[in-house]
């Protein structure tokens, strides 16, 4: 009964959410609120909670698959307990309105009075931050990218209280605790894992940080700073540092390609592994490309993947333009889509049609992303001219900066600690910005160009803080996991060097991965990773992969002390 009803109501809710994010207007926001309330009333009904608890009391005699379903049903109920319908309804409305504010926001480069004389899209900001060598222009663009903060700050503070109130109803210490519970972990365990990860990567991160400080000071003709000014980096949050290694810059390979080609090429990677082509409905119903400049429609500009009917209706929302970043993001999103397709099979009940955990879901497409930046693959599909040589160390350096090591202090450090304090410690709104920048300084060694007072909310500019709350450690775990999976596939299946390999067309690697994906959440994730790779989750595979870089960086940095403090 639960699985059937849930599937129907979730489909209505997903359809409404899809419309609300792809065509932002009041009517669609209202429809989303209505549909989400319907789903919440079912998932959190007293009947569902009481029955599930009763069944779970007989846990010893329950088959594993039933136990896992009931566990998930109760976690979903905790998101909207029917015992506090007023609070649940307020939370749903606040979520929808705040998301609409963010998704419909116009970034403004030049204001004329209250009106915007010159708007700029997130893609344009990102492109300019990647390319511009003019620091004054960079600072201006960076500041424009933070315009959503003040608009979202009050809403985030209210939503935090509502999310926490909801989570406390079924006994969770905070909304952060409820989200972590999905891993079967306590908050303390999750924070320990994150802190250990940051520590493990610190020596390498410090070398990268020093190398980058020196490199950028030279580029912008400045003194070498202690911390890196945020507007020096080619990413709005300094979560990855692209565009620093000229000898390994692959961006030009994608310029001038039609945007459709970018997504189709990503699909080709998956089909080459023996996975099925994307369903026709994916191409018909997805919203994949950047809007035309004169479009009246507003849409969310952050990439996402959707499992609309928890069955065959899979879609992605993106704003693809032809560059290396969207090439990577397209692989990432299709990783989610292939996961949906693999576990939508009769062996996986509807409520277990999820990743082995959320980090597994985030890891799949990024794993294929590692494979899709290998020179032998790029050459094989004719992207990289045969005579263009790429230096292995420079490639490794670029990968550490824009797709691996640099991301960990942001995800496991700044983001996770900010959300931990926001929810678990009820951080007061008048400290949101102060704390955000303290964490960025401590974990990332990044600082703003000029003081950012509490009139700003720079954390609020990160999509996930608004609409994917208390889950960013998913990505940190996914980054560890993707190197563990990559290490296993290259060494054990392909018998190739992890740094120089080609999975493209390898059906055995594809089958190994598909088998994991088609289990959905029917098995314990710790057991799964142990069974399939022989290891527990750890940073070892990532550190091994980047080991050759450490020696190179120490030499390049002239043996100077690398710590920024
Ligand atoms: O949000 C994403 C994906 C969608 S699940 C594009 N990522 C994180 C981010 O952009 O902050 C991918 C890695 C990090
Ligand atoms: Zn993702």
User: Which residue reads 């500009």 in tokens?
Assistant: 301
Q: Are 163 and 99 in contact (CB under 8 A)?
A: no
Q: Are 457 and 150 in contact (CB under 8 A)?
A: yes
- Give the CA distances from residue 418 to residues 202, 426, 454, 473, 521, in Å, rounded to whole numbers and listed in that order: 19, 10, 15, 11, 28
Helix (H), strand (E) at residue 46: helix 46-57
Structure tokens at 430: 């008048």
Judged by its nearest atom, the ligand closest to the C-alpha of residue 240 is 1
Instruction: Indicate the pairing of strand 107-112 with strand 115-120.
Output: antiparallel
pLDDT at 59: 82
Q: Are 152 and 466 in contact (CB under 8 A)?
A: yes
Nearest to 538 by CA among 265, 303, 192, 286: 192
Percent of the chain with pLDDT over 70: 100
Average pLDDT over residues 155-179: 98
Q: How far is the CA of 361 from the centre of ligand 2 (A)?
A: 7
* Three-state SS annotation for 247-316: HHCCHHHCCCCCHHHHHHHHHHHHHHCCCCCCCHHHHHHCEEECCCCCCCCCCCCCCEEEECCCCCCEEE
Q: How far is the CA of 114 from the centre of ligand 1 (A)?
A: 33
Average pLDDT over residues 490-509: 97
Cβ–ligand 1 distance for 475 under 6 Å, the answer yes
Q: Are 494 and 370 in contact (CB under 8 A)?
A: no
Q: Is the dihedral of CA 311, 317, 321, 323 positive or negative?
A: negative
Nearest to 341 by CA among 296, 284, 282, 381: 282
Strands (E), 336-490: 446-447
Q: How far is the CA of 239 from the centre of ligand 2 (A)?
A: 15
Judged by its nearest atom, the ligand closest to the C-alpha of residue 339 is 2
- Residue 561, classified by CB atoms within 10 Å of its CB into exposed (0-12), middle (13-18) or buried (19+), is exposed
Distance of CA 535 to the CA centre of its chain: 24
Helix (H), strand (E) at residue 27: helix 26-43
DSSP 87-127: HHHHHHHHHHHHHHHHHT--EEEEEETTEEEEEE-HHHHHH
What number does the ligand 1 atom closest to the CA of 336 have?
Answer: 5
Judged by its nearest atom, the ligand closest to the C-alpha of residue 126 is 1
Nearest to 384 by CA among 245, 249, 267: 249
Judged by its nearest atom, the ligand closest to the C-alpha of residue 334 is 2
Cβ–ligand 1 distance for 89 under 6 Å, the answer no
| pTM, entire model | 0.98
Q: Are 353 and 520 in contact (CB under 8 A)?
A: yes
pLDDT at 51: 96
pLDDT at 60: 86
pLDDT at 341: 99
Beta bridge partner(s), residue 108: 119
Triad 129, 335, 100: Cα angle to 5°: 55
Q: Tell me which residue has its CA closest to atom 7 in ligand 1.
A: 475
Q: Are 500 and 374 in contact (CB under 8 A)?
A: yes
Q: How far is the CA of 412 from the centre of ligand 1 (A)?
A: 14
3-state SS, residue 229:
strand
Distance of CA 433 to the CA centre of its chain: 22
Average pLDDT over residues 117-129: 98
* Cβ-proximal residues to 105 (8 Å cutoff; 6+ apart), any chain: 147, 148, 151
Cβ–ligand 1 distance for 329 under 6 Å, the answer yes
Helix (H), strand (E) at residue 529: helix 525-533
Residue to probe by mutation, ligand 1, list 237, 288, 302, most atoms within 8 Å of CB:
302
Nearest to 300 by CA among 178, 464, 127, 71: 464
Q: Any idea where the domains of the chain sit in the sequence? A: 1-105, 107-145
Radius of gyration of the chain (CA): 23
- Give the CA distances from residue 350 to residues 220, 340, 514, in Å, rounded to whole numbers and listed in that order: 54, 11, 18
Is residue 554 over pLDDT 90? yes
Q: What share of the chain is helix, strand, coil (3-state, %, to 5)?
A: 65, 5, 30
Q: How far is the CA of 115 from the centre of ligand 1 (A)?
A: 32
Structure tokens at 140: 């201006």
pLDDT at 198: 98
C-alpha–C-alpha distance, residues 454 and 431, integer Å: 7
Instruction: Indicate the pairing of strand 314-320 with strand 304-307.
Output: antiparallel
- Reported as a pLDDT band with limits 50, 70 and 90, residue 9 is very high
pLDDT at 58: 86
What is the tens place of the pLDDT at every residue in 420-449?
999 999 999 999 999 999 999 999 999 999
Dihedral pair phi/psi, residue 444, rounded to 5°? -100, -15
Q: How far is the CA of 476 from the centre of ligand 2 (A)?
A: 12
Cβ–ligand 1 distance for 462 under 6 Å, the answer no
Q: How far is the CA of 165 from the centre of ligand 1 (A)?
A: 27
- Reported as a pLDDT band with limits 50, 70 and 90, residue 565 is confident
Cβ–ligand 1 distance for 332 under 6 Å, the answer yes
Is residue 513 over pLDDT 90? yes
Is residue 519 over pLDDT 90? yes
What is the tens place of the pLDDT at every residue in 186-222?
999 999 999 999 999 999 999 999 999 999 999 999 9
Q: What is the mean pLDDT of the chain?
A: 98
C-alpha–C-alpha distance, residues 141 and 46, integer Å: 50
What is the tens place of the pLDDT at every residue in 225-270?
999 999 999 999 999 999 999 999 999 999 999 999 999 999 999 9
Cβ–ligand 1 distance for 304 under 6 Å, the answer yes
Instruction: Indicate the pairing of strand 446-447 with strand 228-229.
Output: parallel
- Reported as a pLDDT band with limits 50, 70 and 90, residue 462 is very high
C-alpha–C-alpha distance, residues 382 and 390, integer Å: 15
pLDDT at 251: 97
3-state SS, residue 130:
helix
- Give the CA distances from residue 313 to residues 305, 341, 381, in Å, rounded to whole numbers and listed in that order: 11, 9, 30
């Amino acid at each position: 009964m639960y699985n059937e009803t849930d599937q129907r109501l979730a489909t209505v809710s997903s359809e409404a959410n899809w419309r609300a994010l792809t065509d932002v207007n009041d009517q669609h926001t209202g429809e989303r609120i209505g549909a989400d309330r319907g789903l919440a009333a079912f998932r959190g009904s007293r009947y569902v909670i009481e029955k599930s608890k009763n069944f779970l009391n007989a846990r010893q005699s329950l088959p594993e698959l039933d136990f896992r379903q009931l566990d998930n049903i109760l976690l979903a109920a905790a998101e909207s307990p029917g015992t506090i319908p007023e609070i649940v309804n307020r939370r749903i409305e606040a979520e929808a309105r705040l998301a609409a504010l963010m998704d419909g926001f116009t970034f403004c480069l030049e204001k004329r009075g209250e009106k915007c004389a010159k708007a700029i899209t997130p893609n344009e900001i990102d492109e300019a931050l990647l390319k511009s060598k003019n620091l004054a222009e960079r600072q201006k663009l960076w500041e424009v990218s933070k315009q959503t903060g003040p608009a979202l700050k009050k809403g985030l503070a209210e939503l935090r209280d509502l999310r926490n109130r909801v989570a406390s109803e079924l006994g969770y210490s905070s909304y952060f605790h409820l989200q972590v519970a999905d891993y079967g972990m306590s908050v303390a365990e999750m924070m320990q894992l994150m802190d250990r990860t940051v520590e493990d990567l610190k020596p390498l991160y410090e070398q990268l940080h020093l190398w980058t400080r020196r490199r950028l000071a030279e580029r912008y003709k400045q003194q070498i700073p202690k911390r890196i000014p945020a507007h020096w980096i080619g990413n709005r949050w300094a979560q990855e540092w692209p565009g620093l290694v000229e000898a390994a810059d692959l961006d030009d390979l994608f310029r001038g390609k039609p945007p459709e080609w970018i997504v189709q090429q990503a699909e080709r990677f998956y089909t080459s592994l023996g996975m099925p082509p994307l369903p026709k409905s994916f191409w018909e119903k997805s919203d994949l490309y950047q809007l035309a400049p004169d479009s009246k429609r507003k849409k969310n500009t952050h990439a996402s993947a959707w499992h609309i009917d928890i069955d065959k209706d899979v879609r992605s929302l993106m704003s693809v333009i032809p560059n290396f970043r969207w090439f990577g993001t397209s692989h990432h999103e299709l990783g989610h889509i292939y996961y949906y397709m693999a576990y939508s099979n009769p062996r996986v009940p509807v409520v277990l049609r999820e990743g082995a955990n959320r980090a597994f879901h985030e890891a799949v497409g990024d794993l294929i992303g590692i494979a899709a930046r290998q020179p032998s693959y790029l050459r094989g599909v004719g992207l990289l001219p045969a005579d263009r040589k790429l230096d292995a160390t420079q490639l490794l350096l670029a990968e550490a900066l824009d797709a691996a090591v640099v991301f960990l202090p942001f995800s496991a450090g700044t983001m996770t600690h900010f959300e931990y304090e926001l929810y678990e410690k009820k951080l007061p709104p008048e400290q949101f910005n102060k704390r955000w920048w303290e964490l960025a300084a401590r974990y990332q060694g990044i600082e703003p160009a000029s003081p950012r007072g509490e009139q700003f909310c720079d954390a609020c500019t990160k999509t996930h803080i608004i609409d994917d709350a208390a889950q960013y450690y998913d990505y940190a775990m996914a980054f560890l996991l993707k190197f563990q999976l990559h290490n296993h596939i290259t060494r054990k299946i392909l018998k190739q060097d992890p740094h120089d390999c080609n999975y493209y067309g390898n059906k055995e690697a594809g089958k190994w991965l598909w088998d994991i994906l088609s289990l959905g959440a029917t098995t314990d994730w710790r057991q799964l990773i142990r069974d399939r790779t022989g290891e527990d989750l750890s940073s070892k595979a990532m550190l091994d992969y980047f080991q050759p870089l450490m020696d190179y960086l120490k030499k390049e940095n002239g043996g100077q002390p690398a710590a920024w403090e």
